[in-house]
Structure 1
Amino acid sequence: MLDAICKIDLQPDMTYSVFKFQVLNDAEIERLRQHLFCPVCDGKAYFRKASKDGKAACFGSRYHQLDCAEFKPSASRQREEQDATEVNQLITESDALKIDFSRSPSTAKAKPSSPQTAVLDKKAQSNNALELPNQIAEPQSQYLDDKRAHQPDQRIGSQGLEKLLNSLLRGSDLASSDLWVYTDDKYRWRAKNLFVNFVDAEPTDNGSPRMYWGTLSHSDKAMLWLNPADSKDVGIPIDSFKGALQQRFGIEDRRDLEGAGIIIFGKCFWNKDKTRKIIQLWNRDVTRMHLSKADD
Structure 2
Amino acid sequence: MLDAICVLTTEAAAEHASSPLRLNPNAQTGVTYSVFKFQLLPEAEIEHLRQHLYCPACYGKAYFRKASKDGKAACFGSRYHEHDCIEFNPSAQKSREEQDALEVQQQLLDADALVIDFSLNPSNKRPSNSALNVNARQEQEVGAKNKTAHDTEPLESVQEPKADYQVAVDKPEIAIMAKRTPSQGLEKLLHSLLRGSDLAKSDLWVYTDDERKYRWRAKNLFVNFADADPTDNKPHLYWGTLSHCDPLMTWLNPADSKDIGIPIEVVKTKLFKQFNITDKRDLEGAGIILFGKCFWNKDKTRKIIQLWDNDLRRIFISTLED
Paired residues for 1:250-269 under 5 Å? 250-269=276-295
Q: Contact 2:246–2:252 at 8 Å: present in 1 too?
A: yes
Paired residues for 1:84-95 under 5 Å? 84-95=101-112
Amino acid at match of 1:172: S
Tell me if 1:103 matches 2:120.
yes
Amino acid at match of 2:206: V
Change (3 A) 1:114 1:144: closer
Report which of the two structures shows the higher radius of gyration computed on alpha carbons: 2
1:56 matched residue in structure 2 = none
Q: Contact 1:121–1:242 at 8 Å: present in 2 too?
A: no
**SS, match of residue 139 in structure 1:** coil
1:121 matched residue in structure 2 = 139
Change (3 A) 1:167 1:189: same
TM-score of the two chains, using structure 1 as the length reference: 0.69
**SS, match of residue 182 in structure 2:** strand
Tell me if 1:243 matches 2:269.
yes
Tell me if 1:166 matches 2:191.
yes
Change (3 A) 1:193 1:106: same
1:217 matched residue in structure 2 = 243
Q: Contact 1:98–1:158 at 8 Å: present in 2 too?
A: yes
Q: Contact 1:110–1:246 at 8 Å: present in 2 too?
A: no
Q: State the shift of 1:140 in Å.
A: 3.7
Higher relative contact order (CA closer than 8 Å, sequence separation 6+): 1
Q: Take 2:162 and 2:144, find their aligned partners in 1: how far apart are those partners?
A: 22
Q: Contact 1:125–1:284 at 8 Å: present in 2 too?
A: no
How many percent identity over aligned positions?
A: 55
Tell me if 1:73 matches 2:90.
yes
Change (3 A) 1:272 1:105: same
2:201 matched residue in structure 1 = 176
- Alignment match of 2:216 (pick from 189, 194, 199): 189
Tell me if 1:136 matches 2:153.
no
Amino acid at match of 2:192: S
Q: State the shift of 1:273 in Å.
A: 1.0
Q: State the shift of 1:137 in Å.
A: 2.2
Q: Contact 1:87–1:164 at 8 Å: present in 2 too?
A: yes
Q: Take 2:134 and 2:208, find their aligned partners in 1: how far apart are those partners?
A: 32
TM-score of the two chains, using structure 2 as the length reference: 0.64
Structure 2: state its 5+ residue gaps.
1-54, 59-83
Q: Take 1:132 and 1:228, find their aligned partners in 2: how far apart are those partners?
A: 17
Aligned residues: 230
Structure 1: state its 5+ residue gaps.
1-64
Amino acid at match of 1:89: Q
Q: Take 2:204 and 2:134, find their aligned partners in 1: how far apart are those partners?
A: 43
Q: State the shift of 1:70 in Å.
A: 9.8
